[in-house]
Structure 1
Amino acid sequence: MQAAPNSQMHRHLFSRFPKFTSHDAEEVRHQVSRIFCDHDLRVVGKSQALNTQIHFRQGKRVSYGRMLYGATVDIEPGNLDDFYLIQIPVAGQEAIQYNRHAILSNTRVATIISPDLEFRMRHERNAEKLFIRVERSAFEQQCAQYYGHLAHGALHFNPAIHLQHPSLQSLKRLLDWQLYEASEGDLFDQPLVAARFEEVLMMSLLGSLQHNQPSHFDTGHIAPGFIKRAEDYIKHHAHLPLTAGDIADQVGVSIRTLFAGFRKYRNTSPMRFLKQIRLEQVRHELLHPKSDTAVTHVALSWGFTHLGQFSADYQQQFGELPSETLKRSGG
């Protein structure tokens, strides 16, 4: 695993994903609206000129990027409607105002803007930020799966993220790593892996940040038939980028109920069961190789990205290394 970026490296992330560069205010407003939402944009002061740069890597449910305006600007989007926006300044600062409150966001204080929050912000001339766009439908589905339902209407976060707070250090490390990997690595090119990373990000935000959903719930009674249906679904869909939320949604329970059921009746977790099924599929391909079959390619195609851990898990389950299976099969 690559090391997380330091503060200087942050300012070069997503350089291989250029979206646009412009000095024209109307073009900037139009192009930014295509990534985010329609908004009013005003350059503060007649002596300033825009030098806007945006780098953007689009994903299925989560997208990543870096941007700067090159001038002090006032931005009034109203609200975002269909996505959550995480903003992490890497230089300078921006002020965000909402509901008679204000947040001064800088390298120590990030923000998460919920879709229904009406806000405006001033982005200072020397400000540059990383951002993460999470689709609303995916995030609220994840929340409903995680807690069993949305108890208090739409999911709404407290906007301020104090990155130096001791309770948020695990989340900060996760954000650093995901941003770096999305920028510099190739794991996000694997659909199975990208889906898991998106789910981990959403669940980590739910578990770490303040929001309006309850943190307690009743797991209720779980029947063995429910577990069997989940197992059958996993077996028949292991080739897809399954997440715990997908499985829970398919059988009609929350993620915690799903995990509690597998723990009680199978002494494992649904994701470990999925890994076991995928290991069996890898073994099947290695036992019936084609002329170009390679262990690394087969492992990656089934979602195993940490090859050392994959080999150890494979050996523990089957009593031999994957390379030994392929060699024994004539591959």
Structure 2
Amino acid sequence: MYSQQHRSISTIQSHTQNIHDANHCLDLIIGPHDLVDFNQYEPLDFSFNGSQIGRMIIGDLTYGKDVIFKTHTHENMNHFCITRPKIGRPLFKKDGQTFYACYDQASIVSPEDKFELIIDKDCVQTFISFSKTFVEKILSDLISQPVTEPLVFQNVMDQNNPKIKAWWDLIDSIKNFTNNFTNTSFFQEMRSDFEYIIVKSLLLSQPNNYSDLIYKNTLDYPDFFTRLLEFIQKNIHQKIEISDLEYASGLSKKKLNTIFKKYLKCSPNAYIRHYRLKCIYNEISQSTHKINITEIAYKWGVTHLGRFSLEYKDAFGEKPSETLKKIIERQTGSAQLIH
């Protein structure tokens, strides 16, 4: 597989007749899986031609022969994945239910989903994947609390839903923009905006197990609660105690716990901790040079580094150093040839 990176855009190309090389490419863009070969005497003609834009991968995927894509029973994928056939109708099977994916009814799967996709040799699919950590971070922003249960989408993306049609129109517009936009330094500044808009609009458009909570959280809060959240966000660089919230709001500790549970389904301390971690994650993710994680943590009000590292990994699925490593690797502009 050949992958050449220009700042925040990577071209990903793989064309092989070797099923092991095909599996290697799929491991990188999807995660752990099995690729079952119907007929070992019929040659594979695997091809993936696409791009990685930040934490989103998009491209055209073909196999050139009949295959079955299967998830592992005891190991989850690393990405949320969308398959939209341009040609053909792959058969999607999950929990005893089946449907044929097509251009107007794409399939979307979550990392924890266990499924099979039966694909014929002439099938050509538009394939999109988003890293699990990034999607859950945006979901956490939408619901203003940590993601405690796996995010699971309804598996059919029906284009008869106006929101889904609008989402695909958005994808087409951004693909066209990135294909024709030559100012890569300026695109670096817009890349995170594109990623955020695409994933946020997907979470708002495609039904999922957090849809009700997302809807409730987009409703207006009472003014006093909005001011309380603004107080936390304004002072997040400092240590914030419950007594500070009592003073700022004029409410008792018991009342504060009650209203936070009502509107955010968490305690005041949990919200403060989550918002602080989110600020740190954002600064690391948006950095354009090597940074000192300890300095950033202290800057955002962290007082216990060991506990911070554990809480960060619980929230984002990786250590702060791992987030930084991925950012640096994306920005090195290195090209690699993987056989």
Between 32-41 and 113-122, the greater mean CA deviation after superposition: 32-41
1:96 correspondence with 2:92: yes
For 2:26 and 2:234, locate their aligned partners in 1 and report how far apart those are by CA, in whole Å.
42
> CA offsets per residue over residues 202-242 of structure 1, 9 Å max, x none?
11111111001122136351228937965999xxxxxxxxx
Where in structure 2 are the equivalents of 1:13-32 lying within 5 Å?
17-32=11-26
**Higher relative contact order structure (alpha carbons within 8 Å, sequence separation ≥ 6):** 2
Q: Which of 193, 196, 200 is residue 190 of structure 2 equivalent to?
A: 193
Aligned to 2:201: 204
Aligned to 1:57: 51
1:171 correspondence with 2:167: yes
Q: Which of 222, 241, 246 is residue 226 of structure 2 equivalent to?
A: 222
CA separation of 1:252/1:117 partners in 2, compared to 1, >3 Å: closer, same or farther?
A: closer
For 2:70 and 2:277, locate their aligned partners in 1 and report how far apart those are by CA, in whole Å.
42
1:95 and 1:105 in contact (8 A); partners too: yes
> How far has the Cα of 1:111 moved from its partner?
1.4
For 1:224 and 1:80, locate their aligned partners in 2 and report how far apart those are by CA, in whole Å.
39
SS of 2:168 mapped into structure 1: helix
1:229 and 1:251 in contact (8 A); partners too: no
CA separation of 1:167/1:34 partners in 2, compared to 1, >3 Å: closer, same or farther?
A: closer
Where in structure 2 are the equivalents of 1:312-327 lying within 5 Å?
none
SS of 1:222 mapped into structure 2: helix
CA separation of 1:187/1:136 partners in 2, compared to 1, >3 Å: closer, same or farther?
A: farther
CA separation of 1:166/1:46 partners in 2, compared to 1, >3 Å: closer, same or farther?
A: same
CA separation of 1:18/1:167 partners in 2, compared to 1, >3 Å: closer, same or farther?
A: closer
Q: Which of 118, 121, 127 is residue 117 of structure 2 equivalent to?
A: 121
Q: Which of 34, 43, 50 is residue 40 of structure 1 equivalent to?
A: 34
For 1:199 and 1:75, locate their aligned partners in 2 and report how far apart those are by CA, in whole Å.
29
SS of 2:69 mapped into structure 1: strand
> CA offsets per residue over residues 11-65 of structure 1, 9 Å max, x none?
xxxxx93512111222222232233223222222356321111113123322222
1:96 and 1:122 in contact (8 A); partners too: yes
CA separation of 1:150/1:94 partners in 2, compared to 1, >3 Å: closer, same or farther?
A: farther
Q: Which of 136, 146, 150 is residue 154 of structure 1 equivalent to?
A: 150
For 2:36 and 2:234, locate their aligned partners in 1 and report how far apart those are by CA, in whole Å.
53
2:169 alignment partner AA: R
TM-score by length of 2: 0.58
Aligned to 1:71: 65
Gaps of 5+ in 2: 1-9, 238-273, 280-339
1:152 and 1:212 in contact (8 A); partners too: no
> CA offsets per residue over residues 259-299 of structure 1, 9 Å max, x none?
xxxxxxxxxxxxxxxxxxxxxxxxxxxxxxxxxxxxxxxxx
1:30 alignment partner AA: H
TM-score by length of 1: 0.59
Aligned to 1:321: none
2:32 and 2:78 in contact (8 A); partners too: no
SS of 1:201 mapped into structure 2: helix
Gaps of 5+ in 1: 1-15, 234-247, 254-331
Aligned to 2:132: 136
Q: Percent identity?
A: 16
For 1:130 and 1:150, locate their aligned partners in 2 and report how far apart those are by CA, in whole Å.
31
> How far has the Cα of 1:165 moved from its partner?
3.1
Where in structure 2 are the equivalents of 1:228-247 lying within 5 Å?
none
SS of 1:205 mapped into structure 2: helix
For 2:136 and 2:236, locate their aligned partners in 1 and report how far apart those are by CA, in whole Å.
26
What number of residue pairs does the alignment pair up? 224
1:41 alignment partner AA: L
CA separation of 1:180/1:72 partners in 2, compared to 1, >3 Å: closer, same or farther?
A: farther
CA separation of 1:120/1:180 partners in 2, compared to 1, >3 Å: closer, same or farther?
A: farther
For 2:25 and 2:163, locate their aligned partners in 1 and report how far apart those are by CA, in whole Å.
37
CA separation of 1:64/1:231 partners in 2, compared to 1, >3 Å: closer, same or farther?
A: farther
1:64 alignment partner AA: I
